[in-house]
């Protein structure tokens, strides 16, 4: 996540990224999709936007990371 | 025998709505809808996710489309939309009429039924171009691939059909089920825009024509993946297994591409059905297409959203205008069935 934001949103502070929500940083659907595709590539997962659903805009990146771990381990 | 796309007619019909305007309308509606507060909040967050950023769509059901109530109002909205669409396409044709009459007219729509059909209504608006003995027939239930499969059908007609008109009208807004809290219903409302288009296929080339090459289609196993569900008082957009939707669509399209063997072509212009940005970008990645190849489809999606089978014709029209003589053109569409349809052509 940090890598994606460093590359695409250099103004976003990287130190406390886990406390931010994606909706506070990402305002265009294309960027949101790029973010999901970046996660897919780095994690080797196929992520359905509907699986994460509204969590993508209501949860913090830290909470999203927990959800991604759950998806990766097959428990979600 | 060779056939050519001689012209694409792509008028914009209906009221233009931005994501922000649609979100505001939905927000007001959600205040009135009867549902559990937590369910409403989660659904509204889902809608917010679908409407992130700058995107527009056209809506033929009017500004108060969420107030449509009962079967008759839905069917009447569909009828009005068809009338508006066929009039707009007929006006574009008459602005630059072909020199020969059409031997056949095919109407295409998946959102409703009406008698007389789209083909007859179009013919009545173009009496000097569509004779009483011309074949006039509607093709229904083809989903987002219907227009390109109709072109494939016309390519394979016998030689007596020299000039054929396909008229596509996809007023998705007439399917809206404002009383439902089903997520697929709201995904449909936020994803689709209304659209129409016409395409003239001829056996003679002409200025700016595209010679049709190999056209093919494939139907996968996911027959229920995209479908019409039965809503409160009409049918509505439905998805099987919403949570796995994108992954399944991607898998079906990739399977189809392996079978259909659509050549990428290094200098080809691409029209890809804008089913959604996630699907477009991830498919492009897996098919090895550059992001620049997606630009016509992404631009269309931002300006008009997903107009079902009318979208690919709007995108193709823009590509054909910009393509150089001799440049290959490719198109790829996917939708209910689950169908994948693709084609190749050369800009004359």
| pLDDT per residue as tens digits for the range B19-76 | 999 999 999 999 888 888 888 999 999 999 899 999 999 999 988 899 999 999 999 9
Contact (CB, 8 A) for B117 and B107: yes
Q: What is the pLDDT of residue B36?
A: 87
Task: Kindly state the DSSP code that residue B310 receives in the 8-state scheme.
Answer: G
The angle formed by the CA atoms of residues B260, B264 and B268, to the nearest 5 degrees, is 130
* Beta-carbon contacts below 8 Å between A and B: 62
Q: Which tokens go with B134?
A: 């011309």
pTM of the predicted model as reported, rounded to 2 decimal places: 0.95
CA pair distance B71, B77, nearest whole angstrom = 10
> Strand, helix or coil at B166?
strand
Which chain A residues contact residue B48 at CB under 8 A?
23, 54, 57
Q: Where are the extended beta strands (E) located within chain B?
A: 4-9, 15-18, 56-59, 102-109, 130-140, 163-170, 195-202, 210-219, 226-230, 235-239, 269-272, 328-335, 339-347
> Strand, helix or coil at A52?
helix
Which chain A residues contact residue B46 at CB under 8 A?
53-54
Contact (CB, 8 A) for B329 and B269: yes
Q: What is the pLDDT of residue A76?
A: 61
CA pair distance B320, B108, nearest whole angstrom = 22
Q: What is the pLDDT of residue A75?
A: 64
Q: What is the pLDDT of residue B131?
A: 96
Nearest CA-CA distance, residue A37 and chain B, Å: 7
Which chain A residues contact residue B277 at CB under 8 A?
29-30, 33
- What is the domain partition of chain A in residue ranges? 2-72
Nearest CB to A57 within list B45, B55, B250: B45
Could A48 and B49 be called an inter-chain contact, meaning their C-beta atoms sit closer than 8 Å?
Answer: no
Q: What is the pLDDT of residue A29?
A: 85
User: What parts of chain B have a pLDDT lower than 50?
Assistant: none
Which of B193, B176, B152 is closest to B275 using CA atoms? Answer: B193
Selected for mutation to probe chain B from A32, A54, A57, A67 (highest B CB count within 10 Å) is: A54
Contact (CB, 8 A) for B93 and B129: yes
Contact (CB, 8 A) for B293 and B270: yes
> What domains does chain B contain, in order, with CATH numbers?
4-202 (3.40.47.10), 210-347 (3.40.47.10)
What digits encode the pLDDT tens for the residues B322-346?
Answer: 999 999 999 999 999 999 999 999 9
ipTM: 0.84
Could B48 and A53 be called an inter-chain contact, meaning their C-beta atoms sit closer than 8 Å?
Answer: no
Whether residue A72 lies within 8 A of chain B, CB to CB, comes out as: no
What digits encode the pLDDT tens for the residues A13-63?
Answer: 878 888 998 888 888 888 888 888 888 889 888 777 777 778 888 899 999
């Amino acid at each position: 996540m940090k890598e994606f934001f460093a590359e695409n949103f250099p103004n976003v502070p990287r130190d406390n990224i886990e406390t931010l929500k994606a909706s506070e940083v990402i305002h265009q659907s294309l960027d949101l999709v790029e973010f999901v595709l970046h996660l897919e590539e780095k994690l080797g997962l196929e992520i359905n936007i509907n699986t994460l659903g509204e969590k993508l805009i209501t949860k913090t990146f830290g909470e999203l990371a927990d959800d991604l771990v759950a998806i990766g381990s097959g428990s979600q | 025998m060779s056939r050519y796309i001689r012209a694409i007619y792509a008028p914009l019909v209906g009221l233009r709505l931005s994501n922000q305007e649609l979100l505001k309308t939905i927000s007001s509606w959600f205040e009135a809808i009867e549902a559990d507060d937590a369910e409403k909040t989660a659904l509204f967050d889902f809608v917010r996710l679908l409407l992130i950023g700058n995107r527009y769509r056209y809506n033929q059901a009017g500004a108060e489309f969420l107030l449509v109530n009962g079967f008759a109002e839905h069917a009447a909205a569909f009828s009005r939309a068809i009338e508006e669409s066929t009039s707009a396409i007929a006006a574009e044709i008459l602005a630059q009429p072909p020199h020969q009459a059409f031997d056949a007219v095919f109407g295409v729509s998946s959102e409703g039924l009406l008698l007389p059909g789209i083909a007859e209504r179009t013919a009545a608006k173009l009496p000097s171009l569509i004779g009483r003995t011309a074949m006039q027939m509607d093709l229904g239930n083809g989903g987002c691939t219907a227009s390109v499969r109709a072109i494939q059908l016309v390519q394979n007609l016998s030689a007596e059909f020299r000039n054929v008109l396909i008229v596509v009208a996809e007023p998705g807004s007439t399917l809206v089920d404002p009383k439902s809290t089903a997520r697929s219903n709201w995904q449909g409302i936020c994803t689709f825009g209304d659209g129409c288009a016409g395409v003239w296929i001829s056996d003679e080339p002409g200025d700016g024509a595209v010679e049709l090459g190999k056209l093919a289609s494939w139907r996968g196993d996911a027959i229920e993946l995209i479908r019409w569900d039965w809503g409160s008082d009409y049918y509505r957009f439905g998805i099987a297994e919403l949570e796995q939707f994108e992954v399944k669509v991607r898998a079906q399209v990739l399977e189809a591409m392996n079978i259909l063997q659509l050549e990428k072509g290094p200098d080809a212009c691409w029209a890809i059905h804008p089913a959604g940005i996630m699907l477009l970008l991830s498919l492009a990645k897996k098919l090895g297409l550059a992001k620049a190849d997606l630009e016509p489809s992404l631009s269309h999606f931002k300006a008009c959203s997903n107009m079902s089978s009318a979208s690919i014709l709007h995108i193709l029209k823009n590509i054909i205008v910009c393509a150089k003589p001799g440049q290959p053109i490719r198109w790829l569409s996917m939708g209910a069935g689950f169908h994948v349809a693709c084609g190749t052509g050369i800009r004359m």
